[in-house]
Amino acid sequence: MIPKDASDRVALMLTLVPYLLEHQYVKVSNAASHFGVQPEVIRNAIHVLLVSEHQDLATGQWTEDMFDIDWDAFEEDDEIALSAHGKIDDTPRFSTAELAALLTGLNYLASLPDHANNVLITNLFAKMRAAAGGNISDSKSIAMAAPPQSSSLPIARQAIEQKQTIEFEYVAADGNVSTRVVDPIKIDLIDDVWYLRAWCHTREELRNFRLERIRVAQLSSEPRDPRADSVQVSEWLIDRAETGEAVTLEVATPGIPLLGDFVADTDIPKTDPTTVTVSVVNAHSLKRIVTAHPHLIRILSGKESQRLTVEWAKAGLSRYE
């Protein structure tokens, strides 16, 4: 994490101290990677700790010795050896917000097929209840339905684990149905949609498939392409390096989530409605989104996307004539 404000920084200090008291002569770099922050963040926290002082009400003296450090080790070897005189030797307990974030997440994981019957999760719930102290009932704020089942999920998962190749009929956003031979690499669940990231033998590149658009999948006799095991899979479903038609959209605030990876969260100005320009590789995906939410999203410019969207909606209307 990158500490963004005083709240993050004090949280780091309060959790760092008990850790350091337990672990003497820890390298700054090790402490940094343990807490998932940059070494400089740890050094800054140490400096603030060491200058912390408070006034003793009885004597009126400023005390500056809440913490001691082995200065030589810190300055010469970049190692921390800390001792404290205060009462801060234990990890603070979890807040209700933290418990809500962890326990809801844990509940959701338990509803996924890859964690079904995970005894570890059952035990963890009991442990977290104990760790929560009295906070547990106040932390129940969020419930999540299990994600949709997908008949292609087991074979895709098996293919990833055993490095197998599978084939299936796929219905693309443009409506074309084709047979694909792919090497599954990774499965993503984003909100309520399962995606398969796989090396496509036909296209010879990494492709994303929505699991619900896969028709009967089976093992393939084709050998796995070695490139499937070296290709980098990005966090994003849409490859931002790939460029397509520049399309300008007018989007009302509730419409922004609907655009998913078409727009990065950071691209969005805070007006309502807002105007964003996106690079559209697959106008057939966009036309489906715009036609579903025409009151929230409209295409201001981008001839091809506009034409496809209007054709699509008109064709839909023709079914009622």
Q: State which of positions 189-218 bind other proteins (CB under 8 A).
A: 189-193, 212-215
Q: Would you give the distance in Å from CA 222 to the centre of its chain?
A: 33
Q: Does residue 145 belong to the site contacting other proteins (CB under 8 A)?
A: yes
Query: The tokens of 161 are what?
Result: 């684990």
Q: State which of positions 20-59 bind other proteins (CB under 8 A).
A: 22-23, 34-36, 48-49, 51-57
We find the least distance from the C-beta atom of residue 223 to other proteins, in angstroms, to be 25
Q: Which residue, 65 or 72, is less far from other proteins as judged by CB?
A: 65
CA nearest 171: which of 218, 216, 213? 213
Q: Which residue, 188 or 225, is less far from other proteins as judged by CB?
A: 188
* Rounded distance between C-alpha atoms, residue 67 and residue 87, angstroms: 11
We find the least distance from the C-beta atom of residue 165 to other proteins, in angstroms, to be 21
Q: Does residue 240 belong to the site contacting other proteins (CB under 8 A)?
A: no
Q: Which residue, 2 or 241, is less far from other proteins as judged by CB?
A: 2
* Rounded distance between C-alpha atoms, residue 33 and residue 156, angstroms: 34
Q: State which of positions 276-305 bind other proteins (CB under 8 A).
A: 287-295, 298-299
CB within 8 Å of 216: residues ≥ 6 apart: 168, 169
311 forms beta bridges with: none
Q: Which residue, 241 or 314, is less far from other proteins as judged by CB?
A: 314
Q: Does residue 149 belong to the site contacting other proteins (CB under 8 A)?
A: yes
* Rounded distance between C-alpha atoms, residue 18 and residue 36, angstroms: 16
Q: Which residue, 72 or 315, is less far from other proteins as judged by CB?
A: 315
User: What string marks each residue from 241 to 280 as x (binds other proteins by CB under 8 A) or -?
Assistant: ------------xx-xx-----------------------
Instruction: Write down the residue that tokens 């699509």 correspond to.
Output: 312
Exposure of 116 in the CB half-sphere (CA atoms within 13 A): 7
In contact, 203 and 252? CB cutoff 8 Å: no
Q: Does residue 223 belong to the site contacting other proteins (CB under 8 A)?
A: no
Q: Which residue, 1 or 246, is less far from other proteins as judged by CB?
A: 1
Structural element, H or E, at residue 6: helix 6-22
Query: The tokens of 49 are what?
Result: 């700790």
Q: State which of positions 65-124 bind other proteins (CB under 8 A).
A: 66, 86-88, 90-103, 105-106, 108-109, 112, 114, 120-121, 123-124
Pick one of 25, 122, 177, 229: the residue that binds other proteins (CB under 8 A). Answer: 177
* Rounded distance between C-alpha atoms, residue 239 and residue 3, angstroms: 29
